[in-house]
Amino acid sequence: MSEFSSQPSLSDNARRYLLMLADALALAIALWVAVVLRYGDLYRDITVFWWQFPLVSVLGVVAFGKLDLYRAIIRYIGPGSMLPVIQGVTIAAIGASFSAYFTGAVSFPRSAPIIFWFVAILLVGGGRVIVRAYFYGIFKDYLVRENVAIYGVDKPGAQLAIALLNGNEYMPVAFIDENPGLRRNTIHGIRVFDSANLEGLVKEFNIRRILLAQANGDGEQRRALLNRLSELPVHINTVPDINELVSGQTDQPQIREIEIADLLGRERVPPDEGLIRRAIHGRNILVTGAAGTIGSELCREILKRAPARLVLYDNSEYGLFQLEQELKSITAEETDLVVLLGSILNPGHLRRVLEMFAVDKLYHAAAYKHVPLVEQNIIEGVRNNVVGTWLVAKAVSESGVHELVMISSDKAVRPTNVMGASKRLAELIIQGFAENAVAEQTGKTFSMVRFGNVLKSSGSVVPLFEEQIREGGPVTVTHPETTRYFMTCGEASELVIQAGEMAEGGEIFVLDMGEPVQIRELAEKMIHLHGKIAGPTKEVAERADVIDIEYIGLRPGEKLVEELVIGEQITGTRHSKIMRAREVSVTWEQLVDFCTRLEDACRTADYAVVRALLEKYVAGYRLADWAVDPGFAKSESASVTSNITRIDDHQH
Element (H, E) at 322: helix 317-328
- 3-state helix vs strand vs coil in the chain, percent to 5: 50, 15, 35
How many C-beta neighbours within 10 Å does residue 300 have?
Answer: 15
Specify the pLDDT at position 81.
64
Tell whether the model's pLDDT for residue 384 goes beyond 70: yes
Specify the pLDDT at position 601.
94
Phi/psi of residue 486, each to 5°?
-130, 150
Element (H, E) at 381: helix 378-382
Residues of the chain with pLDDT > 90: what percent?
Answer: 27
pLDDT mean over 356-369: 95
Higher-scoring residue by pLDDT: 28, 341 = 341
Specify the pLDDT at position 453.
77
The mean of the pLDDT values for the chain is 80
Specify the pLDDT at position 421.
93
Tell whether the model's pLDDT for residue 470 goes beyond 50: yes
Q: Are 463 and 469 in contact (CB under 8 A)?
A: no
Nearest-angstrom CA–CA distance, 72 and 79: 12
Confidence of residue 349 (pLDDT cuts 50, 70, 90): very high
How many C-beta neighbours within 10 Å does residue 60 have?
Answer: 30
Nearest-angstrom CA–CA distance, 426 and 423: 5
Element (H, E) at 535: strand 533-535
Q: Are 368 and 418 in contact (CB under 8 A)?
A: no
Q: Are 227 and 212 in contact (CB under 8 A)?
A: no
Higher-scoring residue by pLDDT: 335, 567 = 335
> What is the edge-to-edge ordering of all strands in the sheet holding 570-572?
336-341, 309-314, 284-288, 361-364, 403-409, 445-451, 508-511, 578-581, 570-572
The torsion angle over the Cα atoms of residues 461, 241, 300 and 369, rounded to 10 degrees, is 0
Confidence of residue 639 (pLDDT cuts 50, 70, 90): very low
Specify the pLDDT at position 38.
78
For the segment 220-240, what is each residue's pLDDT rounded down to a tens digit? 677 777 777 777 778 887 776
Q: Which residues contact 432 (CB under 8 A, 6 or more apart)?
A: 585, 586, 587, 588, 591
Tell whether the model's pLDDT for residue 426 goes beyond 90: yes
* Strands, E assignment, 399-469: 403-409, 445-451, 453-454
pLDDT mean over 412-437: 92
Q: What's this model's pTM, rounded to 2 decimal places?
A: 0.69
Tell whether the model's pLDDT for residue 561 goes beyond 60: yes
Confidence of residue 1 (pLDDT cuts 50, 70, 90): very low
Higher-scoring residue by pLDDT: 86, 432 = 432
Angle between helices 10-39 and 112-137 (to 10 degrees): 130
CA distances from 22 to 18, 77, 235, 445 (A): 6, 17, 44, 82
What is the Cβ-side half-sphere exposure of residue 268, based on CA atoms within 13 angstroms? 19
Angle between helices 10-39 and 82-103 (to 10 degrees): 50
Pairing of strands 256-257, 235-238: antiparallel
For the segment 98-127, what is each residue's pLDDT rounded down to a tens digit? 777 777 666 677 778 888 888 888 888 777
Specify the pLDDT at position 246.
42
Higher-scoring residue by pLDDT: 562, 430 = 430
Nearest-angstrom CA–CA distance, 172 and 164: 7
Confidence of residue 73 (pLDDT cuts 50, 70, 90): low
Tell whether the model's pLDDT for residue 82 goes beyond 50: yes
Comparing 3-12, 28-37, 449-458, the range with the smallest average pLDDT is 3-12
**Residue 75, exposed/middle/buried by CB under 10 A (0-12, 13-18, 19+)?**
middle
What is the Cβ-side half-sphere exposure of residue 86, based on CA atoms within 13 angstroms? 5
Q: Are 442 and 599 in contact (CB under 8 A)?
A: no
Tell whether the model's pLDDT for residue 90 goes beyond 60: yes
Higher-scoring residue by pLDDT: 320, 479 = 320
Nearest-angstrom CA–CA distance, 33 and 225: 56
pLDDT mean over 566-582: 77
AA letter at 553: G
DSSP state of 180: G
Pick the most confident of 136-140, 141-145, 225-229, 536-540: 225-229
Q: Are 52 and 27 in contact (CB under 8 A)?
A: no
For the segment 151-193, what is each residue's pLDDT rounded down to a tens digit? 887 767 777 787 777 666 788 888 888 777 777 777 777 888 8
Q: Are 57 and 28 in contact (CB under 8 A)?
A: yes
Specify the pLDDT at position 142.
45
**Among 531, 537, 535, 495, CA closest to 513:** 495
pLDDT mean over 552-567: 74
pLDDT mean over 268-295: 90
**Among 379, 368, 526, CA closest to 462:** 526
Q: Are 320 and 339 in contact (CB under 8 A)?
A: yes
pLDDT mean over 125-150: 67
The number of residues in the chain equals: 652
